[in-house]
């Protein structure tokens, strides 16, 4: 099955939510842990135990593992493997973006099933040109994996680039969405090439209805985005929306039942997406 088909099936079976695994130093402290490798592993595997059996998608933030070097990456590998074994799709938040053989190497690291870091999908940055990401698109298609490309992000600096206008009048964000839509053409039930659109973008400067792929939607909760914002921004595209929540759930830890309950509340909040 393509990633788009697997995601569509998971959203129907488990509800529309992506739960983040972000071992931020402040969250480690809040959990009563210290900022070290042992705590990193305990945090990540507690999240897997709590979320992976119930969430459609879990999203480890790679940077918080990488900061511990090779041993942190080894914890990430175990986190990915155990989350997938528990039935969740794993979306790795790495925001890679480069050109030529370097982009191909990044794609191989995360999208080749032979890699110990292989995931169902990853995040990409298109700001060396969407075409520079072709090695990742090609390998994703080859291995039935997915990608989520940044389009309209929830950080305050994003509009400086994403709202800029091209010579044809489209915004940069619109051009990214249009190129991904072309790659999703004729995909059924859902394309495998998604975009990232924050729940805090206000009035959209792009047409979101023609992607035929999934929308990863961060910015909900701690960053100010709400369920009503999601309804307003996406309209007819709501069935393809994947709301992403991290800190609002992670603050319920380290108790596994409390974490699972927090994740299930998020899932319940977005049942209308597939109603």
Residues 266 and 245: their CA atoms lie apart, in Å, by 8
Q: Could you tell me if 122 and 129 are in contact, meaning their C-beta atoms sit under 8 angstroms apart?
A: no
Contacts of 275 (CB under 8 A, 6+ apart): none
Residue 8's closest CA among 246, 223, 184, 222? 184
Tokens 């990401």 belong to 133
The one catalytic residue in 9, 59, 95, 156 is: 95
Residues 182 and 176: their CA atoms lie apart, in Å, by 10
> Is 95 considered catalytic here?
yes
- Structure-block tokens of residue 172: 């940069």
- Structure-block tokens of residue 20: 């983040």
- Show the DSSP H helices in 52-99 as ranges: 62-66, 70-85
Q: Could you tell me if 253 and 259 are in contact, meaning their C-beta atoms sit under 8 angstroms apart?
A: yes
Burial of 167 (0-12, 13-18, 19+ CB in 10 A): exposed
Q: What is the bridge-based pairing of β-strands 193-197 and 18-21?
A: unpaired
Residues 11 and 156: their CA atoms lie apart, in Å, by 29
Question: What residues are labeled active site?
Answer: 95
């Amino acid at each position: 099955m393509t990633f788009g088909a697997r995601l569509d099936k998971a959203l129907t079976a488990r509800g529309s939510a992506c739960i983040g695994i972000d071992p931020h130093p402040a969250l480690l402290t809040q959990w009563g842990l210290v900022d070290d490798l042992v705590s990193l592993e305990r945090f990540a595997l507690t999240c897997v135990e709590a979320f992976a059996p119930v969430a459609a998608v879990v999203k480890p933030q790679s940077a918080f593992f990488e900061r511990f070097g090779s041993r942190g990456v080894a914890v990430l590998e175990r986190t990915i493997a155990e989350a997938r074994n528990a039935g969740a799709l794993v979306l790795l938040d790495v925001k890679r973006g480069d050109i030529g053989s370097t982009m191909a190497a990044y794609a191989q690291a995360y999208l080749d099933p032979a890699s110990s870091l292989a995931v169902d999908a990853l995040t990409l940055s298109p700001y060396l040109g969407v075409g520079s990401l072709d090695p990742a698109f090609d390998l994703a298609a080859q291995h039935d994996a997915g990608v989520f490309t940044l389009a309209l992000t929830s950080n305050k600096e994003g509009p400086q680039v994403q709202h800029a206008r091209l010579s044809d009048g489209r915004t940069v964000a619109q051009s990214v969405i249009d190129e991904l839509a072309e790659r999703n053409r004729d995909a059924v039930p859902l394309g495998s090439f998604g975009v990232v659109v924050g729940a805090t973008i206000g009035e959209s400067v792009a047409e979101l209805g023609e992607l035929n792929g999934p929308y990863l939607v961060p910015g909900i909760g701690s960053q100010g985005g709400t369920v009503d914002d999601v309804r307003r921004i996406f309209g007819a595209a709501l069935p393809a929306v994947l709301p992403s929540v991290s800190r609002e759930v992670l603050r319920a830890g380290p108790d596994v039942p409390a974490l699972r309950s927090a994740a299930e509340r998020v899932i319940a909040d977005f049942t209308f997406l597939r109603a």
